[in-house]
Amino acid sequence: MKDMRIEKNSFDFEGFVNNIYEFINDIYGIDPAILIQNVDNPCMTNKEASKKLQKRNAKDLLGILENGKQLYFPFTQAKVTTDSDKIKSVDGTEYMILNNLDNLLYDYDTTGFIVSLQNSEFMFKSAIHRVIIKKNGTSPIEEIKEIDNIDYEQFYKPMESFLKKFVR
């Protein structure tokens, strides 16, 4: 997905958050706010830190963005939640796990958006939230990074279309 800039006053941020929250709740049945992560310090796998993420609404998340932080919002579910060869997304599309995608998205990984607020514009970048579970029993490692290569291109146009639904 190309980086998208959308004027803050022209974007229904609350609708965007609520739509993602509804998707997360339907898929995982947990407090959706837990999966909205600080890009610089993701902590979904840390139970104590996750408790602090609960019950954040769109206004809370906007405040975090206004304080200069970047947040990650998922667009797809993690493969671990499905027994099929498809991955569900927030826009209602189910994606086939194709050859290279199976090698790029592991059990707990999701694709989504890195969102920041720069001046009076929201900046959206495509990203992956990777959760690496080690077999030796140590704590999982999490990273959120931008993606812009062709390996994930099947998500790019749907991600852009999804964002455009919230432009007023």
Token pair recorded at residue 30: 């947990």
Q: 91-129 pLDDT, tens per residue?
A: 999 887 655 565 567 778 899 999 999 999 999 999 999
0.85 surpassed by pTM: yes
Give residue 98's pLDDT. 59
Tokens at residue 103, please?
């090698």
Specify the DSSP element, H or E, that contains 27: helix 13-28
Is the pLDDT assigned to residue 65 strictly greater than 60? yes
Residue partners of 109: CB distance under 8 A and separation at least 6: 78, 79, 128, 129, 130, 131
Q: In the predicted model, what is the mean pLDDT of residues 16-28?
A: 95
pLDDT of 20 > 90? The answer is yes
